[in-house]
Structure 1
């Protein structure tokens, strides 16, 4: 029997006990020869493949059983070099007992390095224990890296009972002298899970699962003298400021607190304490500051070193850092009269924070210890504009006869800006064939939103020029397109990129069919991918062909929102195939997606002069994208260039007070023109004119909505009982009623009558309106978030129908259900920034809800839209406040999200912005319930600041509403200040 036959018999019979005798019988030459056979065998048994299931379906599984997998892994460990072993199997699927049978007689050269590599893993295999690696180490089989020790030592503190419950066993750390002498300190220098190892444990003894057993053990060993206490204090401080994650750094800070250092010990640790003040996480900083505060009035305290850290501390946005810093400064000012001016000047930096409590503490410190000096007066004056009302009143004496601002002093300047419309940036046409080829090579990567419009437009324009050698230059672009449809795109490409790639493949097949030998490079490449596609179809039962004609393309789950782009690409391909070089009307001329009215008129003129038929869909998108900021300037050109119904549509679009005319030949285009205007009231009139059955709200994007509390079922795992527990919880929800049902009350006969009268086909395809496709499927989003900007840019003058869909699909809950929902909202916000849109209620709902988002990026974008909207008068603060107030009347999201946003992004942009923000906050306050919400005090403080700086009176109805809160002790002070402003 050959070696191969012997091993195959062991494998098939699953006789693991015969494996070691078999390999011990092989010499090195036989082992090398066997390794060649083993490679083929492991591939056959361990690779995952499609298999027929017992129920008749297809499943993905591998041939090997669990025991056969173990036998093959052990065989690979014995026979393969490390590179081949890692390709084939993993040591971590084995157990230490299985390896213990092999290691005494065989250890590959790479074994030491392989085991130590565990130190770099996030997850440590269960059998790689500290005890086991110490056994290997004491036998001289491996070395011990600090990382390996740090990863395995945390679990060594614990043992398990027969029912798998945890026991804390400090005595385990005493088994080896080296553990406390050397290894324990690696935990303070290397990444580990010492902070997390007992978090989810189910303890058999009286151990408190909410208290770290490691901290208890280290404190005990410190008290018993088994660990050097001063070194432990220093190491825990240093570890808290290392580049560890937030939880691990916080754990070391907690350890330092639990050790309860004496003042003498703290004085010996001043340098590590000051180093911890520079930590990247807040908890180590607050722990260090608490210790510093204890010793600040000791003679040995290094005051100069602490004062050097004050600018950094006072630049923090964390209140738990600011408060102890100010408290320490007050101690130092009391102890060192000669340093009072320096301390007071440094304290002024606290006025950059929009926290009333912080500013009050800072102002009282300066009032108490400040002297009548130019230095302090200049420092106070420099921060005057960022001071809140109470701080300004406290320091009024220091503002009298203040000297000019010191050079470089920080200020919070309030600038008033005039409304304006942003200048349009020209996109520019593709001017040469080389520019076209370059565009085609990058058009499927979602690098720019306009590529999906520019590429088909350029191919139409240059269709007659791509001949001969020029055709071969398209080969790289075709390869990118074919790879895209076969393998999928990147994390930033969406369905529209796949659609555009399919269009480009269709264009190239047209060249292949009509350009003969010149297109051979494209033909060879295309056929290679086509053969691969068909081979995959023959091999895999459920495989779908990925190279197909453009007309059969559809998004996953049949999402209708992509129909508009598909129609435009089919129109472009038809133009190319028929050698029609007339331009598409809707190709944007200015960023991000606007069409210049002058260019649109010129394009329409070309159609009129050649008596060519307009495409209704192309016409709708062109009208929807028309730049209306300078529309009236183009009216003389319009009257000179166009006539008939097309001129009437453009006149209605470009002239603000123009009225629609009936009857009309292009009802869908008239509707698109109507809702592109600021005044969208014509939408209802036109809908009646033309018997368009889509509800009016689907054109203007305004739908009923509500935020409310609902019950839902939650299933969680209880680690103590080792069971899943089901319970009913309450959650906040947002629903917008996007009703797209057709109005069946219309007389269908009228549609036929108008079709005959106007000489147009009444087919569904021709009479389709752009807005019937503005709907996003409500299911898991795959790539829609990468497409949303380009979808919004179909209707840049009227994005709210799609914003309603984004709200419905992605914003149903205050914390996003999926990452894809969050990405969708970010992408939509980013797309809105360059647009000039007068928002209705849906737009305000979108912006207001984003202001309550847990995501800082989303909040910042929402703040930017509000800021821009105040300047351009396209956002109404009062309406925004009503919407946020409705949300917060049920505490849709923590009020702190909004109050923090006010302090960081909304306050003191300009006089105009402060006035709008005052109206916004007032509307929120009047919607809030009589029972004070958490963080209502901060919102009231913001309101007090706004009415103080704006010199405004409080509306009587709001005063009456706030009376209910006056019984709350925590709100009395700020309410008293507000009530004092009622007759301002």
Structure 2
């Protein structure tokens, strides 16, 4: 064993390593390779540490491992040596793998490798090395190695790949600001050819990452991570510090990049780079047409930056005012940038004072600025219009925007009255309009059952296969439930080769990754059916994983990968049995019906789009069951009642319902309005608790107080949940506060097991929580009382929500609006939370729902109280509600907003501390 080499590796001394290995004879090299490979670079026994503090052990071990790789690489002289330095290892679960020392090529130790290759050129074998670590699929080179190998002619130049490799900093923490800056300064061609191309090649610079930095003012977070843009800010500063002069052409290129359809934070970074570069007036004037074009991008922060540049050159003789005047209106709808827009209006006013405008039609574009809620901006626009555009027809131009006007702008334009032919007799009175809206809605509701579109049922096996494709594409009750029902009815016509016919659909399902939901269950059914199983197959995913491990050990990677996709689907199917017990049970019943040749239809199959059931159809099916002496499945019956169009029942349906004999007959007759008597039956308790709440959503049912369901929310009283700040003791012993919604699925299932045995109490959403992407199907199981389902999706954070929470606050509400569903009680918490959510699409959806509810004359007391509370308790930000108040609301919506403000002012008196932006919200009560 070469002890001096061991010491050099242990100390991370790359120069000493090369000095030692370069002098070894061939026999010494081979024996040393064998000896070194047997050692563990992370073992203090193999590589003793000297004076390494505990906090530095991680970084020291990383250095030793890289030095270990370097020692092996420097003992390679020819192609046959490559195999000798490969190491056979086992991972933590005993799986074999091969460790490649050329992983060093992903590191920052470029110069040490260059020194070695200058002494022992690898031209004869380097391409063979790169075959394993640099392919189309694999990038095993850090940028320094990539650039060096390119300049040596060992790899081709690929601009986009090089730019991405340089700019994208992964989370491994193996990048160094200083090392990259020094390398780039050493190779200025790489700066101009790669780094400065960031303006036209989009990269992942918005990701969070970690790295080494010598900058004491580095903007790393307390957790040691920051956006990659911060990394490059520091690199640019170091390059300039070293003496590199950034080409001034980069200023124009960055300005052009602001026209890219990239993410806002990415463009914001380019704006920061521009401010750091401090464009001169000459540079800005040379690119003023680009500045004007950027006004039309619609990105508020970018428009703000560009407007600052435009203001700085507006007084220059070369300033193209005509082009600015034509392009400026493109920015009029940009949100939350009143100062920038006001600056633009001031440029117009200053020029109009010198040269009054001649194009009267320009006032139509200026009037759009009244949609901006800022009082000062509105006032400036009003003065501009009354001073320079007060010709005939101005009142008609302003008329569509009168509801937006505030303060002095409203006073300035109050004297302008539209002609009788062009405006309503009383613009401020919309009560008649509101009344008409309510009347129209009542009319729509009354004839809902007649206007709903019937769902066609497949009449042939061929149509059934087409419907199967629709199930995969739409994932709706109108496809999935209809498919199972049609399959049962048409089972005698199914061809003998059906197993072959459904194989393409199984492949289609396997081609995508599905999480727990409807599609894994559909796969489970098709898999069970094609295997002629009378019950749903039971997937032993642990056994499957062991088989895959065995194949990996035998180097049969292709076979292992083929088995892994079905295993992932099987895991999802197993989980979905708890998520959608209704659908899993339907699968089991379908297989049973196919086995027993039972063609009786399912009760819960929708008859009308999107998921409703006509009362007479349900009664007819129940009579079919009774005629054959069979009892219907309870869950099937409950979901059928949940989907029933019960508010308008035909005389024929009522007459047929009188003929029902089963133990469910009293419940159905009560539901259809034939009796008001509740005749409890313990076996049918879930059915009774459902239909009573659906039929009379606001009532208290004391009849259930002595039943086993008495403590389930929504059974005795309407579904109301508690919410608010609660003290929490964390694992480290610290005590803090968390805002909690009780019975929200994040809260409910955090420390408790789900309660699938109670899943058919749909009004309380007692089943396991589902993904928001499955919200439409979930809502179809209980469309008349969706409150509990919606509450399960309320995000628990005011900011920094992840993608799952964004979907939670968007997709269910989209379905509610699409299908005109109603919330009754705590469902209003979901609507209110969406109205104050951090993402604008959710706020817009909630606004639309609230406006519709107000037009329908619904009671919004619970919503008002919730909004007042979460604002007064400083949980959800006040500016988001101010955004709602600033919209051009009709009188009824304005009154709603003012009532919330009044409730807020009452609640905030009880608080020890005023929330942020309190004064701004209180001003709306004046």
Q: Answer whether TM exceeds 0.5 for this pair.
A: yes
State the shift of 1:7 in Å. 11
CA distance, structure 2, for counterparts of residue 592 and residue 316 of structure 1: 37
The yes-or-no answer on 1:695 pairing with 2:682 is: no
Question: Which secondary structure state, in structure 2, belongs to the residue aligned with residue 592 of structure 1?
Answer: coil
Question: Which secondary structure state, in structure 2, belongs to the residue aligned with residue 608 of structure 1?
Answer: helix
Question: Do 2:709 and 2:715's aligned partners in 1 also have CA atoms closer than 8 Å?
Answer: no
The aligned counterpart of 1:757 is none
Question: Do 2:133 and 2:139's aligned partners in 1 also have CA atoms closer than 8 Å?
Answer: no
Per-residue Cα deviation, 1:799-850 (whole angstroms, up to 9, x for no partner): 234334x15xx53333476543443443432343355555332111121122
Aligned with residue 70 of structure 1, among 101, 120, 128: 101
Question: Which secondary structure state, in structure 2, belongs to the residue aligned with residue 880 of structure 1?
Answer: helix
Question: Which secondary structure state, in structure 2, belongs to the residue aligned with residue 399 of structure 1?
Answer: coil
The yes-or-no answer on 1:869 pairing with 2:853 is: yes
The yes-or-no answer on 1:471 pairing with 2:455 is: no
Aligned with residue 882 of structure 2, among 899, 907, 914: 899
The aligned counterpart of 2:872 is 889
The aligned counterpart of 2:54 is none
The yes-or-no answer on 1:855 pairing with 2:839 is: yes
CA 1:855–1:471: 2 relative to 1, 3 Å: farther
The aligned counterpart of 1:802 is 789
Question: Do 2:872 and 2:914's aligned partners in 1 also have CA atoms closer than 8 Å?
Answer: no
Question: Do 1:494 and 1:785's aligned partners in 2 also have CA atoms closer than 8 Å?
Answer: no
CA 1:735–1:829: 2 relative to 1, 3 Å: same
Question: Do 1:870 and 1:912's aligned partners in 2 also have CA atoms closer than 8 Å?
Answer: yes
State the shift of 1:657 in Å. 7.7
CA 1:859–1:385: 2 relative to 1, 3 Å: closer
Aligned with residue 797 of structure 2, among 806, 809, 813: 813
CA 1:648–1:325: 2 relative to 1, 3 Å: same
CA 1:730–1:260: 2 relative to 1, 3 Å: farther
| Greater mean deviation of Cα atoms: 416-425 or 203-212 | 203-212
CA distance, structure 1, for counterparts of residue 184 and residue 107 of structure 2: 25
State the shift of 1:933 in Å. 4.0
Aligned with residue 324 of structure 1, among 334, 338, 343: 343
State the shift of 1:677 in Å. 0.9
The correspondence of residues 948-967 of structure 1 with structure 2, limited to 5 A, is none
CA distance, structure 2, for counterparts of residue 683 and residue 867 of structure 1: 31
CA distance, structure 2, for counterparts of residue 376 and residue 577 of structure 1: 77
Question: Do 2:498 and 2:530's aligned partners in 1 also have CA atoms closer than 8 Å?
Answer: no
CA distance, structure 1, for counterparts of residue 33 and residue 259 of structure 2: 53
Aligned with residue 351 of structure 1, among 348, 370, 395: 370
| Greater mean deviation of Cα atoms: 197-206 or 844-853 | 197-206
Per-residue Cα deviation, 1:694-749 (whole angstroms, up to 9, x for no partner): 5353576624312226567699xxxxxxxxxx9987654434489999xxxxxxxx
Per-residue Cα deviation, 1:564-611 (whole angstroms, up to 9, x for no partner): 333333333333322222222222212232211010111122223333
Aligned length: 818
Per-residue Cα deviation, 1:169-216 (whole angstroms, up to 9, x for no partner): 999877667678877754555557999999976436789999945666
The aligned counterpart of 1:417 is 437
The correspondence of residues 19-168 of structure 1 with structure 2, limited to 5 A, is 24=78, 45=88, 59=93, 61-64=95-98, 69-70=100-101, 97-98=112-113, 101-102=116-117, 104-106=121-123, 126=142, 128-129=143-144
CA 1:471–1:315: 2 relative to 1, 3 Å: same
Aligned with residue 775 of structure 1, among 736, 757, 766: 766
CA 1:585–1:194: 2 relative to 1, 3 Å: closer
The aligned counterpart of 1:927 is 907
Aligned with residue 334 of structure 1, among 353, 356, 367: 353
Question: Do 1:441 and 1:480's aligned partners in 2 also have CA atoms closer than 8 Å?
Answer: yes
CA 1:615–1:512: 2 relative to 1, 3 Å: closer
CA distance, structure 2, for counterparts of residue 577 and residue 242 of structure 1: 60
Question: Which secondary structure state, in structure 2, belongs to the residue aligned with residue 614 of structure 1?
Answer: coil
CA distance, structure 1, for counterparts of residue 625 and residue 464 of structure 2: 24
Unaligned 5+ residue runs, structure 2? 1-26, 38-69, 221-229, 424-429, 552-559, 750-754
Aligned with residue 580 of structure 2, among 562, 572, 576: 562
CA 1:595–1:389: 2 relative to 1, 3 Å: farther
Question: Which secondary structure state, in structure 2, belongs to the residue aligned with residue 337 of structure 1?
Answer: coil
| Greater mean deviation of Cα atoms: 690-699 or 533-542 | 533-542
Per-residue Cα deviation, 1:522-568 (whole angstroms, up to 9, x for no partner): xxxx99x99999776656599999999xxx99976797553333333
Question: Do 2:520 and 2:576's aligned partners in 1 also have CA atoms closer than 8 Å?
Answer: no
CA 1:154–1:569: 2 relative to 1, 3 Å: closer
The correspondence of residues 117-516 of structure 1 with structure 2, limited to 5 A, is 126=142, 128-129=143-144, 186=197, 188-190=199-201, 202-203=213-214, 212-213=233-234, 231=249, 233-242=251-260, 245-260=263-278, 263=281, 266-279=284-297, 281-319=299-337, 320-338=339-357, 344-367=363-386, 369-388=387-406, 390-399=408-417, 404=422, 416-418=436-438, 419=441, 420-421=444-445, 422=448, 423-441=451-469, 443=471, 447-466=475-494, 470-478=495-503, 480-481=505-506, 490-491=512-513, 494-510=516-532
CA 1:195–1:100: 2 relative to 1, 3 Å: farther
CA distance, structure 1, for counterparts of residue 208 and residue 698 of structure 2: 61
Higher-RCO chain (CA-CA 8 Å, sequence separation at least 6): 1
State the shift of 1:896 in Å. 1.9
CA distance, structure 2, for counterparts of residue 92 and residue 626 of structure 1: 65
CA 1:495–1:331: 2 relative to 1, 3 Å: same
RMSD of the TM alignment (CA)? 5.5
The aligned counterpart of 2:21 is none
The aligned counterpart of 2:53 is none
CA distance, structure 2, for counterparts of residue 215 and residue 898 of structure 1: 41
Question: Which secondary structure state, in structure 2, belongs to the residue aligned with residue 708 of structure 1?
Answer: strand
Question: Which secondary structure state, in structure 2, belongs to the residue aligned with residue 652 of structure 1?
Answer: helix
Question: Which secondary structure state, in structure 2, belongs to the residue aligned with residue 291 of structure 1?
Answer: helix
Aligned with residue 599 of structure 1, among 610, 617, 641: 617
Question: Do 1:853 and 1:859's aligned partners in 2 also have CA atoms closer than 8 Å?
Answer: yes
State the shift of 1:351 in Å. 1.2
Question: Which secondary structure state, in structure 2, belongs to the residue aligned with residue 833 of structure 1?
Answer: helix
CA distance, structure 1, for counterparts of residue 758 and residue 277 of structure 2: 78
Unaligned 5+ residue runs, structure 1? 54-58, 75-89, 406-411, 514-525, 716-725, 742-763, 941-970, 979-984
Per-residue Cα deviation, 1:858-909 (whole angstroms, up to 9, x for no partner): 3333333323433444x533321111111111121112223324546xx53x
CA distance, structure 2, for counterparts of residue 832 and residue 197 of structure 1: 35
The aligned counterpart of 2:626 is 608
Per-residue Cα deviation, 1:323-343 (whole angstroms, up to 9, x for no partner): 322232222223322459566
State the shift of 1:290 in Å. 1.4
| Greater mean deviation of Cα atoms: 434-443 or 529-538 | 529-538
Question: Which secondary structure state, in structure 1, belongs to the residue aligned with residue 602 of structure 2?
Answer: coil
CA distance, structure 1, for counterparts of residue 859 and residue 795 of structure 2: 21
CA 1:591–1:308: 2 relative to 1, 3 Å: same
Per-residue Cα deviation, 1:390-433 (whole angstroms, up to 9, x for no partner): 5332212333659848xxxxxx9977523232542222222212
Per-residue Cα deviation, 1:27-52 (whole angstroms, up to 9, x for no partner): xxxx7xx99xx69x97x948xx7x6x
CA 1:170–1:813: 2 relative to 1, 3 Å: closer
